[in-house]
A = this chain, B = another copy of it.
Amino acid sequence: MSEKVLPARATFRTRKSRSPHSVVLSDSILDIGTVEPIQFIDLTDYINEYLRVNAVESGTVTVFSRHTTAAIKINEAEELLLEDFKRMLRELCPSERGYNHNDMSRRKPPIAPDERPNAHSHLMHLLLSTSETIPVIDGRLALGTWQRVFMVELDGPRERQVMIRCEAYHPNEMAEAVELHAVDGGNGRNRAAHHRAHLK
């Protein structure tokens, strides 16, 4: 079938890393206090600043919501558009409708101590996403001109945690160390210094 829906024109531009890489892992929790029932919070500047401070040049970032009523989505940070988003979510998942999840008389434990009737928030979340995976190139999220990364509060106000999982790719300094060894006849001191410099 696929031939039927191939584009009229498509071209590739490729940039390939010159050597094998190792992964340096860092996990961060972004604590966020929300103030509205539905709120789009732009995390893009936070994440790019995090990449700058941690000197991440190349890698992959996974932005992961630790909640079932707060989502992660990429779209445009235009104020009027965010109002349109909120209206669509409210219309697709109206809070005033009757839901099984909101009937506490039928709910089995465990029930969250701060539980409130929020079936509509879970339904909105089912239509959105728990995480976004974003390439990092030249020290920044490789986003298009209008793309911004949002945490979408769907049951606010609440205290939220967003995990920023960063896989930074570093050239295998061992490869260079062993090549150096082959060239310099095995001077351990040189190689160790070379190695430490790379791990800084």
Contacts and interface: CB of A to CB of B under 8 A. Distances in A.
Copies in the complex: 3
A83 B101 CA distance: 8
A2 B148 contact: yes
Interface residues of A, number: 123
A16 interface: yes
Contacts of A50: 12, 14
Contact of A122 (B46, B76, B131): B76
Interface in A89-132: 92-93, 99-101, 103, 106-108, 110, 112, 119, 122-123, 125-132
A101 to B, nearest CB: 4
A62 to B, nearest CB: 6
Contact of A6 (B41, B60, B106, B119): B41
Contacts of A150: 5
A172 B169 contact: no
B195 A77 contact: no
Contact of A163 (B66, B135, B148, B170): B135
Nearest to A66: B144
A149 to B, nearest CB: 9
A111 B54 CA distance: 33
A50 B11 CA distance: 11
Contacts of A175: 173-174, 195, 199
